[in-house]
Structure 1
Amino acid sequence: MTSTSQAPLAGLRVLDLSTMIAAPLAATILADYGADVVKVEMPGPGDHVRRFGAQKDGQGLYWKALSRGKRSVALDLRHPEGKELLSRWVTEFDVLVENFRPGTLEKWGLAPDDLRALNPRLIVLRVTAYGQEGPYAAQPGFGTLAEALAGLAAVSGFEDRPPLLPAYPLADIMAGNLGATSVLAAVQRRHATGAGDVIDLAIYEAALKLVEINILEYQQLGTEHGRTGNRYGPAAPRGSYQCRDGLWVALSGSTQTMAVNVLRTIGGEELVADPRFTTNTERRAHVEALDALISAWCAERDRPTALAELTAGGCAVGPLESVATMVDNPQVAHRGSIATVEDPDLGPLAMTGIYPRFQDATTSIGRPGPAAVGQDTDDVLARDLGLSADELARLREAGVTDGPSEPRDAIPGAV
C-alpha cells in the first residue's frame, strides 16, 4: 500500500441537477469514488425518486441508496433568482449532470454553452432517453422505453409469451455507469486541453451494447433472434435447472471446453462422443434434447450435490439465488458485497458496496440520501457563495430555496 492514500476522485466537484435513476446514478458512482457531489432538488417535493418504489416511515428506500454521498440543496431553477444563483455557483464545479428534456436548460437561460462561458473547464453530462437530437428527442422517456427501442424486450422471455421488459431498471443502470465513465474520459481530456465538454448520452444507446452481437448477426447474416427463455442463441448448454430439493442452479457451456465438461459430468465419455453434442453448432441444433438430459440429471440430486459434482467436473455452474438467499451466499458475504450503512432516520440500511475495489485508493460510502429536501441548502450556499443568514432566510421565504435552517448529519470531509 502506498504511504498516502486518498479517494480516486478526491477534489472533483459535481453538481447533480438530475432526477430519477440513470443520471443520478452517474453522479452517485462519482461520489462513491470520492467526488464531492451536491444534489439540487426542487423545493417542496424534491426528486421524484423519493416517491419511487417501496417506502418506509414515509421515506423512499431507493432514494437512500441512490443519493448516498450527496449533499442536498433545494433550489428552484425556474425562478429568476434561482437561475442567477446557479450562474454564480457553477464556477465552483468541475462537472454538471442533468437529465431535463432537451431544450429545458436552454429555455431557462442555462444552456450548457452559456454555463461553459462562465466556467470553460465545466463538463456537462446530459442524459435523456433518446438523446439531444432526432425525431424522438422531445418526447418524454424512461429506461423502459429505451429497453423497448433497443430491442431488449423483443428477445427477452419465452417464444409463446409477449416480449418481456426487465423487472428492474436495466437500461438506467447501464446508462448511469456509462455516464460516469464518459465524465472520467472528459476529465482526462481536460488534463491535456484545459477545456471541458458537453456529453450527450441517450439511455437507449447504452442499452444497445447489450444486443450488439444480435445487431452484427442481423446485418451480416440476416438472422433475427426471437425469444428463447433461458437459452442463449450463440451457445449451448445454457440455462437454469431445478434440483430435487426445489432449488435451482445456473449453468453455462459457452466454450467448447466448458460444454465438454458438462457432458462428461452428467453422462461420461459416451455423452461426450454423442454426435448431437460434439460441436456448438450441433448442440444448438439439439438444444432441447441436451436441456432435457441436464434437467433430468439435476432432478436426481439436491442442489449442494449437483453443484459439488458439476464444480468438480470443471463446469461453469453456480447457485441461482433470490435476493433473500443471495445476501447470505458465502461468496457475497466473504467479499462484503452488500454493505450496511447507518441512516439517522431508518437505522441500518443494506445496499450495494462500492465496486470495483481499489488496492491503494480509499473509498467509503457516504451518508444515505437525507430525509429532508434541501437538508444542506444553507450550509452549502453559505460556504460556496458566501450567503449570509439573512440572505438565506429571504431566499427560503421567497420559495427560491428550501430546507432546514440548521443542517444536521453533514457528510464528513465535504468541502
Structure 2
Amino acid sequence: MYQLLNDLSIVEVSSFVASPTAGLYCAQMGAEVIRVDHKAGGLDYDRYMLTKEGRSLSWENLNRAKKSVALDLRSGEGRELCVALAANTGQCITNLPEKSFLSHAAMKVAQPDGAPDMTSVRIMGWHDGRQAMDFTVNAASGYPLMTGPEEWDLQTAPPVNQVLPAWDFITGAYCAFALLAALRHRDGGGAGSEVRVPLGDVAIGTTANAGLMAEMLYRGSDRERLGNAIWGAFGRDFRSKDGVRFMVAALTSKQWHGLVEAFDVAEPIGELEANVGVKFSDGDDPRFKHRHALFDIFQNVASGLDYKTLEARMGAKGCTFEKYRTAHEAANDPALVGGNPMFGPSPANPSGFEYPAARSFANIPEQTPADPAPAPYLGQHSEEVLAERLGLSSGAIGKLVDAGTLALSDKDR
C-alpha cells in the first residue's frame, strides 16, 4: 500500500468483481474506501471459494484495506443512511442500477452545505440498460469462438469460455481511472459528475481498441482458430523431452534471433527460408505465415531436450518464455510469489487463513510500501463511520442497532 490518495474518501456500494476492484485499487493507493453492504452481506459475501468457517476468500481479497458498514438496505431508513453517507463523502463507486435508491440525483440532492460536489462512478451492464455480467459480455465479444484447437470448425465447434473474469477486472481498473479523472476535473474548478461505465462497452470497446473490430470488417469474415499460437506473430506452446509444456514468443528481431540460437536451429531455418523464398528475420509476417513449418522445427529440438536444459539456453539468450503452471503450482512458486516483493505477509484475515497478500501492483522505488491490510469483518466500522461521517451520537447509533437498521461486526457470527 502507498499513501498517494490518503486525502480521499470514497463510499463503495457494490458486489461481485468489477465494482469492488475499483474500490480495492483506490484503497491500495491510500484512499479511505467505505464499503456499504446489506447487513446480512451483499450478493458476493458468500461467493466461492468458502473456508470451512464459511468465509469467502474472494470477498476477503477484493475488499482488503477497506472499511465496512452494514445497513438494512431493504428498509427506508437504511437506504437513507446509505445515501447520506455517499452524499456527505462526495465520492461514490457503485454497480447498483441508476433507478435504484442510490441514484446520482438522490445523492446530489442529499448533499449538505460544504460537501464536495457529488462525483460518482456507476458500473452498468449494457449501454441500453440490459443486464450483463462478465461471462455474458464475453459471449458477445467473439473471443470464445476464436479460442480452441486449430482444427475446430468455427461454425460447428463449441465456444471456449475463459475462466478469468477479465472484463470485470478491466472494468474495475477503468472505473478507478475514470473516478480519479472526474475528481481531477472537479478539484481543478469544474463540476462534479456522474460517470457511467457499461461492462459491455468495456468489452466491445476493448475489441475495437485492439484492432479486432477493424480486422473483422476489413477481412469480411471471422478469424480462424489458432490453438495456442499467437495471432500475427511467432509464438506457441512446446513440450520438452521430460513432458514440460512451455510458451515462447518472438515478436521482435532480438527475441527471434535469441530463440534460433537457443534451439540451435539456424541450419534448418536457413533451409526452410531457401525453400519458401523468405527471410524470417524480416518480421512477424513471414514467421506467422510459415508458422507450422517453424513450429515443427522447434518442437523437434524440444522433444530431444529436458526442460532445464532448454530453460538455461533460452535464459542465456534473452528469450521470452515461461513454463506452464497449474494455479496451485503458481500459488506456491518461489519466483512468482515467495520472492516477489509485491506480496507481503499475511494480515489478520477474517477467514483466519494465513497466506501471502498482494500489495499494489505499482512499484514506487522512492517509497517503501506498507504491508497489505486485511479485509474488514462485515459491519466492523459501522459505528465509527456513522459517528465520523454523519455525526451520530452513540445513543443514536445504539437505537439504529436495536432497530435492526445497523449491524456491527460479524466477527463472532
TM-score category, normalised to shorter length:
0.7 to 0.9
Q: CA RMSD in A?
A: 2.5
Distance 1:339 1:144, change over 3 A: farther
Q: CA deviation at 1:355?
A: 0.8
Q: Which residue of structure 2 aligns with residue 412 of structure 1? A: none
Structure 2 SS opposite 1:165: coil
Is 1:115 aligned with 2:107? yes
Distance 1:367 1:264, change over 3 A: closer
Residues 147 and 207 of structure 1 are in contact (CA less than 8 Å); yes or no, is this contact kept in structure 2?
yes
Moved more, 206-215 or 303-312: 206-215
Q: Distance in 2 between matches of 1:226 and 1:300?
A: 31
Q: Percent identity?
A: 23
In the TM superposition, 1:47-126 aligns within 5 A as 47-56=42-51, 57-104=53-100, 108=101, 110-117=102-109, 118=111, 119=115, 121-126=117-122
Residues 54 and 60 of structure 1 are in contact (CA less than 8 Å); yes or no, is this contact kept in structure 2?
yes
Give a deviation string over 1:222-259, Cα, whole Å, max 9, x none: 352132221122112x1121212222221001224422
Residues 156 and 163 of structure 1 are in contact (CA less than 8 Å); yes or no, is this contact kept in structure 2?
yes
Paired AA for residue 243 in structure 1: S
Is 1:231 aligned with 2:229? yes
Moved more, 373-382 or 54-63: 373-382
Give a deviation string over 1:35-56, Cα, whole Å, max 9, x none: 0011100112x12222111111
- The runs of 5 or more residues in structure 2 that have no matched partner are none
Match among 286, 291, 294 for residue 282 of structure 1: 286
Match among 320, 337, 345 for residue 342 of structure 2: 337
Q: CA deviation at 1:295?
A: 1.9
Residues 264 and 272 of structure 1 are in contact (CA less than 8 Å); yes or no, is this contact kept in structure 2?
no
Residues 87 and 115 of structure 1 are in contact (CA less than 8 Å); yes or no, is this contact kept in structure 2?
yes
Q: CA deviation at 1:267?
A: 4.2
Is 1:374 aligned with 2:366? no
Q: Which residue of structure 2 aligns with residue 162 of structure 1? A: 158
- TM-score, normalization by structure 2: 0.86
Residues 28 and 359 of structure 2 are in contact (CA less than 8 Å); yes or no, is this contact kept in structure 1?
no
Distance 1:282 1:124, change over 3 A: same
Match among 313, 333, 352 for residue 358 of structure 2: 352
Structure 1 SS opposite 2:92: strand
Is 1:397 aligned with 2:402? yes
Moved more, 151-160 or 52-61: 151-160
Residues 129 and 143 of structure 1 are in contact (CA less than 8 Å); yes or no, is this contact kept in structure 2?
no
Distance 1:193 1:285, change over 3 A: same
Is 1:250 aligned with 2:251? no
Residues 13 and 92 of structure 1 are in contact (CA less than 8 Å); yes or no, is this contact kept in structure 2?
no
Give a deviation string over 1:361-406, Cα, whole Å, max 9, x none: 55435542234x312211211222222233222222333221249x
Match among 388, 391, 396 for residue 386 of structure 1: 391
Q: Distance in 1 between matches of 2:247 and 2:263?
A: 15
Structure 2 SS opposite 1:72: strand
Is 1:306 aligned with 2:276? no
Paired AA for residue 125 in structure 1: V
- The runs of 5 or more residues in structure 1 that have no matched partner are 409-415
Distance 1:244 1:339, change over 3 A: farther
Structure 1 SS opposite 2:370: coil
Q: Distance in 2 between matches of 1:244 and 1:394?
A: 71
Distance 1:361 1:77, change over 3 A: farther
Q: CA deviation at 1:282?
A: 2.9
Structure 1 SS opposite 2:213: helix
Residues 129 and 204 of structure 1 are in contact (CA less than 8 Å); yes or no, is this contact kept in structure 2?
yes
Moved more, 330-339 or 303-312: 330-339
Residues 243 and 299 of structure 1 are in contact (CA less than 8 Å); yes or no, is this contact kept in structure 2?
yes
Q: Distance in 2 between matches of 1:250 and 1:404?
A: 47
Q: CA deviation at 1:83?
A: 3.1
Equivalent residue pairs, number: 391
Q: Which residue of structure 2 aligns with residue 269 of structure 1? A: 266
Q: CA deviation at 1:193?
A: 2.2
Moved more, 145-154 or 19-28: 145-154
Moved more, 24-33 or 386-395: 386-395
Paired AA for residue 227 in structure 1: R
In the TM superposition, 1:106-255 aligns within 5 A as 108=101, 110-117=102-109, 118=111, 119=115, 121-131=117-127, 134=128, 137-139=129-131, 141-159=132-150, 160=152, 161-208=157-204, 209=206, 212-236=210-234, 238-255=235-252
Residues 32 and 363 of structure 1 are in contact (CA less than 8 Å); yes or no, is this contact kept in structure 2?
no
Structure 1 SS opposite 2:262: helix
Distance 1:144 1:331, change over 3 A: closer
